[in-house]
Structure 1
């Protein structure tokens, strides 16, 4: 009787473990269904379609609120990123990034930078400017629109605050992007 009891307990145990593993694999597959592997690890030549779409919505929704958003940067080559990284180090100027070539979401078409156009036509990075006179800083209104569209804001980062920076990382780290993982082109629209 004891042997039968032990077999039943072990069968139930292993059955439970198997079911648990199956559900874990299904959840992992669903969570990562928007990611694919690039064999040659080639970096993109354009913004990811969801980032491009988000950029257009950002500009349009801000315009509806009387805010003129200027996209100052999007996709960057590794060479362009290296030149920015050199600024404040081996070249004149202040440090504007801690990401060298291949270490920025810009290099993978997953980030944009923005500024505002003031009433006199100047491009500004003034986070307190209220050009639409609604009592709120236009910068923060743009940030809220961007977050609503699925962007992460560099101003929320704990260490280096990058106030003009907006990105969609699709849950991918820089290391994963360097290894060739990419979000599928329709990843945002499918969610």
Structure 2
């Protein structure tokens, strides 16, 4: 009987090892809907789901009497570097701490927004209540965005980036820099 139990335990260990080996192999080969090849191409626009949810955000906000203006979407590494230089080697205020490759914008996974006021101005006033419902339009938009799956920069603890929305798909910037990409479906 003891020999029979030892045989079963041995086979269970072998099966567990094979399952683990299969999992690791598939992770390394990107089978879990992530492109893990270090040669994965960089995107040239917003990820399809980010684009779709950006459009939903604009529509839902409009139904609440809020006009959302998307001020930034995809940015190339070169565009990011140019923004990074502002306030450092170029005139103007510093507007980003991220160089090329250090922003979710560079991977088509982030957008920035502003609001259009009732008089037609584009504003970044987080206290503005243009639809007169007693709530900040800015925060209403952030709440809608979070319901759509965006992470909001206004929730960050290290610094607040109120115009920023991103969908990370669980990927860190380090993983994106190494070539991992979210699925396009």
- Whether the TM-score (by the shorter chain) exceeds 0.5 is yes
State how far apart, in whole Å, the 2-side matches of 1:40 and 1:19 are: 32
Give the alignment's TM-score, normalised by structure 1. 0.84
State how far apart, in whole Å, the 1-side matches of 2:5 and 2:183 are: 45
State how far apart, in whole Å, the 1-side matches of 2:63 and 2:149 are: 19
5+ residue gaps, structure 1: 187-191
CA contact (8 A) 2:40 2:181 kept: no
User: What is aligned with 1:58?
Assistant: 57
SS of residue paired to 2:35: strand
5+ residue gaps, structure 2: none
Give me the CA root mean square deviation. Answer: 2.6
State how far apart, in whole Å, the 2-side matches of 1:122 and 1:154 are: 23
SS of residue paired to 1:71: strand
- 1:36-75 maps to which residues of 2 (within 5 A)? 36-38=35-37, 40-75=39-74
Using the TM superposition, give the Cα deviation of residue 6 of structure 1 relative to its aligned residue in structure 2, in angstroms. 7.2
Using the TM superposition, give the Cα deviation of residue 11 of structure 1 relative to its aligned residue in structure 2, in angstroms. 4.5
CA contact (8 A) 2:73 2:110 kept: yes
TM-superposition CA deviations, 1:76-105 (whole Å, max 9, x none): 011110111112222233322221001111
User: What is aligned with 2:152?
Assistant: 153
State how far apart, in whole Å, the 2-side matches of 1:17 and 1:135 are: 63
User: What is aligned with 2:19?
Assistant: 22
- 1:94-109 maps to which residues of 2 (within 5 A)? 94-109=93-108
Give the alignment's TM-score, normalised by structure 2. 0.86
CA contact (8 A) 2:45 2:74 kept: yes
Q: Paired residues, what number?
A: 181
1:5 aligns with one of 2, 6, 10: 2
Aligned in 2, Cα 1:37/1:20: closer, same or farther, shift over 3 Å? closer
User: What is aligned with 1:189?
Assistant: none
More displaced stretch, 48-57 vs 79-88: 79-88
Aligned in 2, Cα 1:7/1:142: closer, same or farther, shift over 3 Å? same
Using the TM superposition, give the Cα deviation of residue 117 of structure 1 relative to its aligned residue in structure 2, in angstroms. 0.3
Using the TM superposition, give the Cα deviation of residue 108 of structure 1 relative to its aligned residue in structure 2, in angstroms. 0.6
State how far apart, in whole Å, the 1-side matches of 2:7 and 2:161 are: 55
CA contact (8 A) 1:41 1:178 kept: no
SS of residue paired to 1:182: coil
